[in-house]
């Protein structure tokens, strides 16, 4: 399984990952307004590894224009397109059209099995694509993403250019979950990237470290008894 960094601090993590995904929320949260400057900086920092940039228009014709704009920047670029727009309109038609023209698409915001099926049908066997299944979001709604992953795997298992991505990584154990679900890629944000070394620590040691933290903080408190 490939590990992709998910965020805007690309230079910090690029040597530890196989690729990068970004999204408009990460970019806006970082206070970045100039998307063009971010594109250029990211392409320099990613060192030729795959990177996904998300479209920002809700107009289908503009989405196509932005897709070609991103793609023309570098051959390692995937265009991130949500499977559904804020209006509820699905985007499989524009995804299909772009894939037929050789545009590498990362289909994002997939939360349902039906959306996953649409993404698999819209992408082309001959053009590399990523099917991003939002396992974290599904789990946060109190549901299991297993059916969605199984359906996607059944539709892509013989399609070498279609990769399943586990999105919404919220903890280190998500890597285990992603592997168990048959993911080809997992995207990992800063907070989890910074904790990956814990996988090398013995469970007893983690217990002792937590105890140390509790007693260290407890030493700051006054207690009369």
pLDDT tens sequence across 93-119: 999 999 999 999 999 999 999 999 999
**Residue 38 three-state SS:** helix
| Cβ contact 79:105 at 8 Å | yes
Query: What was the pLDDT predicted at 7?
Result: 98
* Reported pTM: 0.93
Q: Which of 53, 99, 56 is nearest to 76 (CA)?
A: 53
| Cβ contact 167:201 at 8 Å | no
Q: Which residues of the chain fall below pLDDT 50?
A: none
Query: What was the pLDDT predicted at 219?
Result: 95
Query: What was the pLDDT predicted at 195?
Result: 93
Which DSSP helix (H) or strand (E) runs through 163? strand 162-167
Rounded to whole angstroms, the Cα distance separating 57 from 221 reads 52
pLDDT tens sequence across 49-67: 999 999 999 999 999 999 9
Report helix, strand and coil shares of the chain as percent, to nearest 5.
45, 20, 35
Query: What was the pLDDT predicted at 13?
Result: 98
Query: What was the pLDDT predicted at 170?
Result: 92
Query: What was the pLDDT predicted at 214?
Result: 97
Query: What was the pLDDT predicted at 136?
Result: 94
Query: What was the pLDDT predicted at 179?
Result: 97
Ordered domains of the chain (ranges, CATH) = 2-199 (3.20.20.70)
Query: What was the pLDDT predicted at 208?
Result: 95
Instruction: Output the DSSP codes for 114-135.
Output: HHHHHHHHHS-SSS-EEEEEEH
Query: What was the pLDDT predicted at 60?
Result: 97
Query: What was the pLDDT predicted at 68?
Result: 98
Query: What was the pLDDT predicted at 193?
Result: 97
User: Would you give the DSSP letter of residue 182?
Assistant: T
């Amino acid at each position: 399984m490939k590990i992709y960094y998910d965020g805007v601090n690309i230079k910090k993590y690029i040597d530890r990952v196989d690729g990068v995904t970004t999204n408009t929320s990460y970019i806006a949260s970082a206070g970045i307004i100039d998307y063009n400057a971010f594109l250029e900086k990211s392409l320099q920092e990613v060192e030729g590894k795959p990177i996904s940039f998300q479209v920002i228009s809700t107009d289908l014709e503009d989405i196509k224009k932005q897709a070609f704009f991103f793609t023309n920047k570098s051959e390692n670029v995937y265009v991130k397109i949500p499977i559904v727009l804020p209006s509820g309109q699905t985007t499989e038609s524009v995804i299909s059209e772009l894939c037929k023209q050789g545009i590498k698409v990362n289909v994002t915001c997939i939360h349902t099995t039906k959306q996953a099926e649409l993404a698999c049908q819209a992408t082309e066997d001959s053009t590399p694509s990523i099917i991003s299944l939002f396992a974290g979001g599904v789990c946060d709604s109190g549901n299991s993403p297993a059916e969605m992953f199984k359906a996607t795997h059944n539709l892509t298992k013989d399609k070498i250019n279609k990769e399943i991505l586990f999105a919404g990584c919220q903890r280190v154990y998500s890597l285990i979950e992603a592997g168990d679900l048959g993911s080809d890629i997992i995207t990992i944000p800063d907070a989890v990237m910074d904790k990956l070394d814990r996988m090398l620590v013995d469970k007893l040691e983690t217990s002792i470290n937590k105890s140390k933290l509790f007693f260290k903080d407890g030493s700051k408190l006054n207690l009369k008894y």
